[in-house]
Amino acid sequence: MLSTGPTDRDPAREELLPGRIAPLLAAAVVVGSGIGILLPGLGQQAGRLLPPTVLLLVTALFFEARLDLRGALRAWRVVGPAWSVNFGLVPVLAYVISSTFVGRELAAMLGLFIYFAAPCTDWFLGFTRIAGGNIVAGSVLLPINMVTQLAAYPLMLSIFFGHRSGRVPDVGFTVLIWFALPFVAARLGRMVAASTSASLQARLTRRAGRLVPWVITALIIEIFGANAQTILAHFRIFIWCLVAVFSFFVIIFFIGELVGRACRLDRGDQVLLTMTTSARNAPLMLAITTVAIPGEPLTYAAIVIGMLIEFPHLVAVSTLLRRRGSVHRVVVRRMI
């Protein structure tokens, strides 16, 4: 997701919210599936709400974002390796893992690839703070990740799936229309709020951030409500999706460790590298995909499955890194 930066949001809320959102999203899957199976007519009605819900989500994400590219040169030591892994190595790994586990089902494979290939631009900063990482460099990395992944979305689909999907040429135009307009509206809204008072801008930004999880929840209910029958018919595929997501997180954790050591990063930068390569940008990718590649419920469901696993994974990784840092500090004190 998009970053508000460390000054736009209550730090305590930023750290607690990711821990709460996984059960909320899981409940949305259950509720949406129940509606689609027991009340299919209502599920189809819910599906018609997808376009306005996507617009609301994207506008809230962009309003919440703090775009400040200054400082990138000072943070190059960690920003460079993190960007290279996220947009150079990860897409290749994403294709290999998704094709290995669900390669026979193009729609699910596409969803996993999209989920894997987009680095998070919000939640991971809170987890980086919890683990004692470099959040200053992290705030520099966030807008870079955001701009790169939006620009790379149609390009990556064309490179990896262009020969298998006839819809790819239309993706770039769709992304431009559906995301350029909300971006402009959100930035104008921030400018108007800032011209009134800084406190008003901060207050509206916090409220946009609090709104995002609930809009994501509504989007998931609508997707599963409208497509529960199709998703249920392919349930076995999603077992393999779970295995694929777990495998991705294990592999990328060790890649982050190896790259950090090869680049001789200090502990704070190493934590940042690990968290930014572990966290994915499922909300924005889900929004993009529902409008750029319409009528593919298996693709959307695969992205949601990745999101459900991601938050427990980030909690585990941040806890591990925090404990490792505590041990390191104790050893240093004894040496002194």
Please report, for residues 88, 102, 168, the alpha-carbon distance to residue 164 in angstroms, rounded to integers and kept in the order given: 22, 15, 9
d(CA 183, CA 201): 16
Looking at residue 10, what is its pLDDT? 41
pTM score: 0.76
Instruction: Name the packing angle between helices 135-161 and 282-292 (round to 10°).
Output: 30
Please calculate the CA angle 49-51-55 and round it to the nearest 5 degrees: 120
Mean pLDDT computed over 143-152: 84
Q: Give the pLDDT confidence of 72-123 residue by residue, as tens digits.
A: 566 788 899 999 999 999 999 999 999 999 999 999 999 999 999 999 877 7
Q: Give the pLDDT confidence of 233-282 residue by residue, as tens digits.
A: 788 888 999 999 999 999 999 999 999 999 999 999 999 999 999 999 88
Residue 56 has a CB neighbour count (10 Å cut-off) of 18
Residue 130 has a CB neighbour count (10 Å cut-off) of 22
| Confidence at 181, pLDDT banded by 50, 70, 90 | confident
> Domains of the chain, with CATH numbers?
11-329 (1.20.1530.20)
Looking at residue 126, what is its pLDDT? 73
> Is pLDDT larger for residue 227 or for residue 101?
101
- Closest CA relative to residue 134, chosen from 125, 146, 121, 123: 125
Does the pLDDT of residue 227 top 70, yes or no? yes
Q: Which helix (H) or strand (E) holds 11?
A: helix 11-38
Looking at residue 326, what is its pLDDT? 59
Mean pLDDT computed over 295-320: 86
- The answer to whether the CB of 15 falls within 8 A of the CB of 132 is no
Strand-pair partners of 119: 280
- Per cent of the chain over pLDDT 90 is 26
Question: To the nearest 10°, the Cα dihedral for 124, 22, 256, 127?
Answer: 30
Helix (H, G, I), strand (E, B) or coil at 78: helix
The answer to which of 62-66, 164-168, 227-231 has the lowest mean pLDDT is 164-168
DSSP 38-101: H-HHHHHHHHTTHHHHHHHHHHHHHHH-----TTTTTTHHHHHHHHHIIIIIHHHHHHHHHHHH
- The answer to whether the CB of 310 falls within 8 A of the CB of 279 is yes
- The answer to whether the CB of 120 falls within 8 A of the CB of 146 is no
